[in-house]
Chains A and B, each alone.
Chain A
Amino acid sequence: MEFKTYSSPHLPASDSVPAMMQRVLLALLPGTAYICCIFGWGSLINILLASLSALAAEAIVLMLRKRPVTTLLDGSALLTGVLLALALPPLVPWWIPVIGSLFAIVIAKQLYGGLGYNPFNPAMAGYVVLLISFPLELSLWPVPGAGLSLSDTLVHVFGAGLSADQTLDTLTMATPMDDIKMRLGLSQTLSEMRDSSLFGSFAGAQWEWINLWFMIGGLWLLQMRVIQWQIPAGMLGGLALIAFVFYAINPDIYTSPLFQLFSGAAMLGAFFIATDPVSACTTPRGRLYYGMGIGLLTYLIRTWGGYPEGIAFAVLLMNMAAPTIDHYTRPRVFGHK
């Protein structure tokens, strides 16, 4: 009798990449649902456009590279599309998510060799290209609860313009973080802004809840052991720490650590973006430093940089540093001094 021979271990594997990606997508659900609730159909359309173009781009490049197209099923391209879409404002022309996805998948991921070989976080690479190329389109966030109808949104997204009684100015507003930066530039103090509708219960209006829902999803991922604690803890810890230092120095011009943690894409970044394992550090200690680096850079860019949100740049900058950090944070091996 001839038996099959495989290499040990023989017990069937306990996990798979598609299963992990599915769990990440599932964990994104609460935050995504909340975004769709307050910003309307635009976010959903973004997600559809970005993920479909990401999948299409991945399939085409895989065919060109003569790789099995079934690789598509690993879910990584889908996740890239979704993360990119979540970073985009809801009312952008259709070609914005499409271009972003194409760049993320074709240039940032596949040209480097596909899943597992990309040095940069593809979603953030795509987002930064859009941010630099189309700053205007990417700064327009709708007024929360503006409630543009599906047909109006579709008309806007696909370029037919808005109906007469609606202009972009009435529909959109700056995000709290954006607004605060602008007003600080006009020498207002934070205490003067306190009463405005900018602030919610503990951070920026509405954004605090978006962040909270993403945090809940992220904590579930931690509990499911899809991600490890070092990167989120490092990033949120680093961000809170530096924010606390400046807040302690002058609370009138520097926002509180709590505000920083629950504004912009902080929670999405900490649990879903910075944790992309391919482009992050891989040693446990390295991941902590990597996360802290992202947190610190995010604060610096948010506070003194030219862009309202700094996570994308911070992630890409730390991606560059990851191999070096890994090199210097190798754990001590069992039995070695």
Chain B
Amino acid sequence: MVDSATSFRRPASVSFDHLETFHGGLKLTGHRELTAARPILPAGVPPLLTIPLQQHIGTAAECLVQPGDAVYKGQLIARQVGKISAAVHASSSGTVIAVEERPVPHPSGLRAPCIVLETDGLDRYRDTRPAALDYTRMPADELCDHIRGAGIVGLGGAGFPTHVKLGCSTDGIEMLLINAVECEPYIACDNRLMQERAAEVIEGVRVLQHAVRPQNCIIAIEDGMPEAETALRTVLAANNETGITITRVPEIYPSGGERQLIKILTGREVPSQGFPADIGIICQNVGTAAAVYNAVIRQQPLLSRIVTVTGEGVLRPQNFETLVGTPVSHLIACAGGYTQDVERLLIGGPMMGYAVSDDHIPVTKTMNCILAVTRKEMPAPPPAQPCIRCGKCTEVCPAELLPQQLYWYAHSNNLDAAQDYSLFDCIECGCCAYVCPSHIPLVQYYRHAKAEIWAREKRTLASDLARQRHEARLSRLDRIKQEREARMARKKQALTGDDGSSELKKATIQAALERVKRKKELAATAPKNVDNLTAEQQQLIAAADKRRQQKNKDNSTG
């Protein structure tokens, strides 16, 4: 039987009366018990840290160090480039040994520029930590700048630079929404974070409140996290904090998706291709709030995050406080290593995460979960059968798409029709593929179609540019030709002359000659500036006149 959310029965004791629902979704079994009840352990300082320059949405950071440079913990080693970008810091002290392309966490096994750091094991800052900022006295933009300097990005998974979200919140933000809905099975890092560091989370939320100044602030927490909820509520009660509300939302995947969560809480829909800020909402992950706390109160940039290492493929599933750049293999070792029958290694959750072929990749700011699974846990997908248009996918799609039609068009490479059926509103949550009785890897088709369309647009752009260049060149050549022709015509005209104007020319020349003649006569007969002259000057003039007359006489005779 399909375990669809539309058949989801809410427990009678819990009231969600004031909440809305989103279309579709799935009720998935948690598997969080593997790690949710165990404390967060430090993963330690590995001998090598590989820190990618791009760990966020936007432009990659620009490297500021060279091989051989010694760096201390928290040092800025790559700076933000452009608006949508984030700074990167050394997560521990040591020596830069390389700045080169290394495999990074990516579904395709991509290699990307990384700073490779050999740690010295001292994990040392440059100097003593500065005192906590009194953020309550800081203007919002200064606070936002400080958060930007800490290189904080959304820790929920997408990695959108936090300062960009905060920056667009100059005014009119109605709600600051803290997302503590960890809706994918297996993942428990936010759950543990709230249980163990509730005070830090709440303080971080207060900082965000100060930066955004929203009318209200809600922490949305999942129904299945009573311990975390209690911890947060205890802190709120202890501080008499009334500006922050905690709301429990039903455990339906993907209720932790930003758009779905906003729909649940407000009934409003974020416009397609738009942002929550468009409807006056700013959404931040609960882990991001804790990172903001670290940046502002501890004055420490984003150097580490909590990673859930779980699945039946590791011996001791656990949440680890992990330095950014730590190899996944190191974390696996921390979790006791692989079991005998491990078969798949996933980065992220089992619904939206991606499989990687080996564990020699670093932990990034956005990596919330490492999931090693066995064949028994997640058997290889059976071969796909033809779509029978049963419509189960439509029933569960939270974006209210028609996945079967999208598949049809993506499959037949009819990309225009796929776009017409709102392909780009697909959030790739995987609900459709999960319920598909024909086992069609639907999400893969959608991703492929999206990539094709992007490639096509790039090509169109390139060809547009080429056409523009070509047209510009043609018009330039044309202009040059016309100019040359005009010049030639003028020259020709000058050479051949024009009979109509010869009389005029003669008259002009005549006039000029006469003017010269008159001037000469005048010069010969009437000397100028001859008033009030001294006797000496008179003599000089007389001598000059004499010489001129002599000269004229010589000229006329010679």
Contacts and interface: CB of A to CB of B under 8 A. Distances in A.
Interface of A: 1-17, 19-20, 71, 74, 76, 114-117, 224-225, 228, 277-278, 280, 282-284, 287, 326, 330-337
A236 to B, nearest CB: 19
Contacts of A117: 386
A225 B425 contact: no
Interface stretch (B266-274, B293-301, B519-527): B266-274
A17 B385 contact: yes
B404 interface: yes
Contacts of A7: 355, 441, 443-444, 447
Given A15-B436, A282-B402, A334-B23, 7 more contacts: A8-B443, A9-B430, A10-B378, A13-B382, A14-B2, A15-B437, A287-B391
Given A225-B1, A330-B421, A334-B272, A9 B355 contact: no
Given A4-B355, A13-B439, A284-B394, A335 B4 contact: no
Nearest to B386: A116
Interface string B62-94: 000000000000000000000000000000000
Contacts of B436: 13, 15
A333 B273 CA distance: 12
B312 to A, nearest CB: 13
B7 interface: yes
B345 A225 contact: no
A232 B1 CA distance: 20
Contact of B389 (A20, A116, A224): A116
Contacts of A8: 350-355, 428, 430, 433, 443
B399 A333 contact: yes
Nearest to B422: A333
Interface of B: 1-4, 7, 22-23, 28, 107, 185, 259, 263, 269-274, 338, 342-346, 350-359, 371, 373, 378-382, 385-392, 394-395, 398-402, 404-405, 421-422, 425, 428, 430-431, 433-439, 441, 443-444, 447
Contacts of B405: 282, 326
Contacts of A330: 402, 421
A33 to B, nearest CB: 24
> Chain A interface mostly helix, strand, loop or mixed?
loop
**Residue with the highest number of chain B CB atoms closer than 10 Å, among A2, A228, A282, A330:** A282
Nearest to A327: B405
Given A3-B358, A14-B435, A20-B437, A335 B388 contact: no
A278 B389 contact: yes
A333 B380 contact: no
A71 B385 CA distance: 9
B2 A333 contact: no
12 contacts: A1-B338, A1-B358, A3-B359, A6-B344, A6-B441, A12-B378, A14-B435, A16-B382, A19-B437, A277-B391, A282-B404, A336-B271
B388 A14 contact: no
Contacts of B358: 1-3
A225 B7 contact: yes
A114 B272 contact: no
A224 B357 contact: no
B344 A10 contact: yes
Contact of A331 (B345, B350, B400, B441): B400
A75 B380 CA distance: 23
B292 to A, nearest CB: 28
B269 A335 contact: yes
A14 to B, nearest CB: 6
Most chain B C-beta atoms within 10 Å of own C-beta, residue among A2, A9, A335: A9
A333 B401 CA distance: 6
A224 B346 CA distance: 32
B439 A9 contact: no
Nearest to B375: A4
A-B CB proximity, top 4 nearest: A9-B430, A116-B386, A335-B272, A7-B444
Contacts of A2: 357-358
Given A3-B343, A11-B351, A282-B389, A334 B400 contact: yes
B274 A335 contact: yes
B257 to A, nearest CB: 10
Q: Which of B353, B379, B388 has the most CB of A within 10 A?
A: B388
Contacts of B382: 13, 16
Contacts of B359: 1, 3
Contact of A334 (B107, B350, B391, B425): B425
A296 B544 CA distance: 129
Nearest to A23: B1
B346 A10 contact: yes
Contact of A3 (B2, B357, B389): B357
B301 to A, nearest CB: 31
Contacts of A71: 385
Nearest to A18: B437
Contacts of A13: 381-382, 433-437, 439
A19 B272 CA distance: 37
Contacts of B371: 10
B355 A10 contact: yes
Report which residue of A10, A12, A224 has the largest number of chain B beta carbons within 10 angstroms of its beta carbon.
Answer: A10
B55 to A, nearest CB: 20
A225 B1 CA distance: 7
Contacts of A17: 385, 388, 437-438
B21 to A, nearest CB: 12
Nearest to A275: B390
B388 A10 contact: no
Contact of B400 (A228, A326, A333): A333
B52 to A, nearest CB: 20
A225 B392 CA distance: 9
B23 A5 contact: no
A4 B443 contact: no
A333 B272 contact: yes
B356 A4 contact: no
B272 A20 contact: no
Contacts of A287: 391
Contacts of B398: 334
Most chain A C-beta atoms within 10 Å of own C-beta, residue among B7, B259, B394, B398: B394
B232 to A, nearest CB: 29
Contact of A5 (B355, B388, B395, B443): B355
Contacts of A277: 388-391
A336 B437 contact: no
A56 to B, nearest CB: 21
Nearest to B401: A333
Contacts of A225: 1-2, 4, 7, 392
A10 B351 contact: yes
Contacts of B345: 3
A3 B421 contact: no
Given A334-B398, A334-B425, A11 B388 contact: no
A15 B398 CA distance: 19
Contacts of A74: 385
A3 B439 contact: no
A335 B385 CA distance: 32
Contacts of B391: 228, 277, 282, 284, 287
